[in-house]
Amino acid sequence: MTNEQLIRQYYDGDEAALEKLYHKNIGLIRGIAKEAAAEFNCLIMEQHHPNQRSAYTKTILDDLCGEGALELLTRIQSREYDESRAALTTYLYPHLKGRMTRWLEQNLGCMALSKDETAAVRQAQRLYHAAWKDTGEIAEELGISEARVSRYVRYNTHFLGVHDLVSEGYDGDPYERLMPGMLSVSAEQAVYRKVCIELLRKLFDTLPKKDRDILGKTCGVFGYSEASLKEIGMYHMMKESAVEKAKNRAVEKLREAYPGSRLQVWRAVHRMLRRPIPLPGEDSELRRNFPQYVRALAEVYAILEEAVANGERYLGENESSNTCEK
């Protein structure tokens, strides 16, 4: 019996079909688990038995298969699968692969390596990414083989962060150190940007769910983790070119929603507040739109108040920190 026949039985109320679907697709789950583990350099063979996988690899694969099984059952029980659009395995693949990849990203660093090897990986990646040394120089400095350095550098541990790009003795803001002058903005500019982002989020939330997902993941904004066109396409069963077009359509919808929105009004208010006081006879626009501007200001007042409160808390904490340092 095919996957599609089994899922039709499940949709018709046959709960036993769910277990049959799981057993029928164990091979799919295991195959995707091996693929995901290979991408994270987790397929390691026993040193003295080259034809056998290491205990570490077996543990990783077991955990990945468990994650895959849960995702398979979740997707089938959601009843979102549409047989007319694709085969069940085609539908399941990006969901299973995505869940396994997320598990590896979240757990690999803390369970895949010993404490000493984790430190070595971190040091090798810092020397490679921050000190711009090649693998030969790193191998000589750490006293290990160049092949091992190459493996450490490729290891997808997500250890390297912005704090690794500044010297160990630097105790200031690493972002300010890496982008001098880019973060030191006035309180007025900070509030203006905060309000713009809050109001843009409101426009973004009016988009259909699929548009939000594609645009959010493409840009890595509003709580969405940035993803490639290929990854997004796999999730939505779309070609990369179709994902790009969908993103552009979503942006166009935002442009169409912008005129008359609170975001446009807020930006107009900000411009008006920064203008010199108009001379008599030159304030017709201000007079005509003043009620609308006042309403907009009232709507964003809560956001402004919160921004000021956060700024005062930050200044207080900063002063306390400076006092303690002295």
The model's pLDDT over 288-321, given as tens digits with 9 standing for 90+, comes to 565 566 556 555 655 565 655 555 555 555 555 5
Structure confidence at residue 20 as a pLDDT band (50, 70, 90) = very high
CA distance 29 to 64: 8
φ and ψ at residue 113, rounded to 5 degrees: -125, 150
CA pair distance 206, 217, nearest whole angstrom: 16
pLDDT computed for residue 160 by the predictor: 44
6 or 105, higher pLDDT: 6
Question: Who wins on pLDDT, 168 or 97?
Answer: 97
pLDDT for the residue 126: 79
Confidence of residue 6 (pLDDT cuts 50, 70, 90): very high
Q: Is the pLDDT of residue 85 over 70?
A: yes
Query: For the residues 141-149, what does the mean pLDDT come to?
Result: 87
Contacts of 147-156 with C-beta under 8 Å, sequence gap 24+, read 149/124, 151/41, 152/120, 152/121, 152/124, 152/125, 153/124, 153/125, 153/128, 154/41, 155/40, 155/41, 155/121, 155/125, 156/39, 156/40, 156/41, 156/104, 156/105, 156/108
Average pLDDT over residues 218-224: 81
Amino acid at 313: R
pTM for this one? 0.40
What single string gives the DSSP state of each residue in 74-128? HHHHHT---TTTS-HHHHHHHHHHHHHHHHHHHHHHHHSS-HHHHHHHHHHHHHH
Least confident of 162-176, 192-206, 271-285: 162-176
